Structure 1
Amino acid sequence: MQSKATTADQYISELPEDRQEVMKKLREAVKSNLPKGFEENMQYGMISYVVPHSIYPDGYHCKPTDALPFLSIASQKNHIAFYHSGIYTDPELSDWFVNEYPNHATGKLDMGKSCVRFKNFKNIPFKLLGELSSKITVEQWIEKYESVIKK
């Protein structure tokens, strides 16, 4: 179920109390590390960090009226999700994250192509996710995105 919230603050305030603090902390880890140029908004029912149309007027190829997505965080039914397009498109970055994860968290890494899932909220490596958030600039993301989309 996607949230109908129009702001990140509203999204978080509508969550169960035990998830609010986790999402606030995750949001801060992302915002304090994300390179300049990305903007926070609500996209696809999640708190998202995007390349705004003022920087990339073409928008997202699937829906050009949407800003180009990069990273999202969400409270899903059974987990907290951290979606990072960079780990999907950059094998070196994905390898770095997978290798670094055991140094920051206990338990098995639950990861899809771009999604890292956390069922145990006490096992979220906020510092590592913040560091991951800092690894790709807006310019690098646009270049990577266009190299895949505009072949």
Structure 2
Amino acid sequence: MQYKADSPEDYISQLPDDRKAAVTKLHNLIKDNMPEGLEAGIGYGMLAYFVPKSIYPAGYHCKPFPPLPFINVASQKNFIALYHSGLYAKKELYDWFVAEYPKHAKNKLDMGKSCVRFKKVEDIPYDLIKELLGKMTVEEWIDIYEAAIKK
């Protein structure tokens, strides 16, 4: 589901009551622990944490006008999704996350290439997500991104 929002606060205010607290907690956790240099805002109809144009003027290659995305959070119809581009782009980070997840959650991991889906708000492993946020710098993300688009 996409919400028409101009700010993270606007996005969160539109959520169903049963999602507001969890998405607010995720948003605050990410803002407080995201790699230095990222900015928070709205991108692609969801909460976005991105590399600003002041750091990476080239922007996102598919559409150079938006900044380079890194992390997103979305309230979808049947789940809350955390998108972390580093999980998709760096196999070691993906492997680490998959191995650590069972230590922090009672349910089976529901994950796509960069999307972790949480069907129940009480199943969100906030401590693991906090640890994930410290595993990749903005500079490392830019290097990985540039190497991938040059292929």
Relative to the length of structure 2, the TM-score reads 0.98
Q: Distance in 1 between matches of 2:120 and 2:38?
A: 28
Q: Distance in 1 between matches of 2:9 and 2:19?
A: 13
Percent identical pairs in the alignment equals 58
Listed as ranges, the gaps of 5+ residues in structure 1 are: none
Cα distance per residue 1:36-90 (max 9 Å; x no partner): 1000110000101100000000000010000000000010000000000000011
- Give 1:14's aligned residue: 14
- Give 1:81's aligned residue: 81
Q: Kindly report which structure 2 residues correspond to 1:2-151, keeping only aligned pairs within 5 A, or say none.
A: 2-151=2-151
Q: Distance in 2 between matches of 1:31 and 1:74?
A: 15
Q: Distance in 2 between matches of 1:115 and 1:65?
A: 23
The Cα of 1:113 is off from its aligned counterpart by: 0.2
Q: Higher mean Cα deviation, 130-139 or 92-101?
A: 130-139
Listed as ranges, the gaps of 5+ residues in structure 2 are: none
The Cα of 1:131 is off from its aligned counterpart by: 1.2
Q: Distance in 1 between matches of 2:149 and 2:14?
A: 36
Cα distance per residue 1:8-56 (max 9 Å; x no partner): 0000011111100000111112112111100011000010110000000
Instruction: Could you list the structure 1 runs, at least 4 aligned residues long, displaced by more than 6 angstroms after superposition.
Output: none
Q: Distance in 1 between matches of 2:39 and 2:87?
A: 19
Asked if the contact 1:29/1:127 (under 8 Å) is kept, the reply is no
Pairwise CA RMSD: 0.7
The Cα of 1:138 is off from its aligned counterpart by: 0.8
Size of the aligned set, in residue pairs, is 151
Question: Helix, strand or coil: the match of 2:116?
Answer: strand
Cα distance per residue 1:115-137 (max 9 Å; x no partner): 00000111110111111122111
Q: Distance in 1 between matches of 2:130 and 2:27?
A: 9
